[in-house]
Amino acid sequence: MKNNKIQILAVATAFLVIGAGIAVFVQIYVGSLVETPSLGTDMLNQYFMESGLFTPHSSATCDGTEAFVEIKSGSNKGYCIEKNERAAQHWEDAKYTCANAGKRLSEPFEWKFACQNAGTLGLSAMTDNWEWASNFSLPVYSGGATGVGSPVFGSSGCSYAGWDWVGYGTGTEGSAAFRCVR
């Protein structure tokens, strides 16, 4: 009888240890897959992806301050872009401003296509100054300076593009106008 009790206790302890091990494994590996942004994104981009802000949709969500840009004629699938630009800010501040409005920055193809149809869409001031035109940034080496930059469009025509500093060694950052998209 005594041996049986010890065997039962040993088996129960083994199950407890295995169960705890599985729980720790799930916490570390499965949990990290869900919670850690993947390479090439940041926390805001993760939010944009998960909230469907990069997914083309119908014109129904656009309000009077926005124009609906249809990706393919007759599809009623596209995105809403603000008709008027917002005052210049640093790139990360522009991203936060759009996020606070439930929106994001445009991507280059979206900005350029909207610009090419600015008259039809009722968009103002598309080719008068630089506007941020991406939610993403990349490392840049330019003129002896290293840092991170993001695309800008609109200084002179719809196709004329460049980039500006998100930040570099001296701490200087670019400031550009922008319009939010959803």
Binding residues for Ca ion (CB under 5 A): 85, 125, 128-129, 154
Residue 149 C-beta: closest distance to Ca ion, Å: 19
Q: Between 59 and 116, whose beta carbon lies closer to Ca ion?
A: 116
Q: Angle 91-100/43-50 helices, nearest 10 degrees?
A: 30
- Identify whether the C-beta of residue 78 lies closer than 8 Å to the C-beta of residue 70: yes
Q: Between 79 and 132, whose beta carbon lies closer to Ca ion?
A: 132
How many angstroms separate the first and last alpha carbons of the chain? 71
For residue 102, give every residue at least 6 positions away whose Cβ sits within 8 Å of its Cβ, in sequence order, or none: 51, 53, 182
Q: Between 121 and 168, whose beta carbon lies closer to Ca ion?
A: 121
Q: Between 125 and 140, whose beta carbon lies closer to Ca ion?
A: 125
- Identify whether the C-beta of residue 133 lies closer than 8 Å to the C-beta of residue 105: yes
- Say how far apart CA 14 and CA 180 lie, in whole Å: 57
Residue 44 C-beta: closest distance to Ca ion, Å: 23
Residue 177 C-beta: closest distance to Ca ion, Å: 5
Taking CB atoms, the residue at the shortest distance from Ca ion is 125
Residue 88 C-beta: closest distance to Ca ion, Å: 10
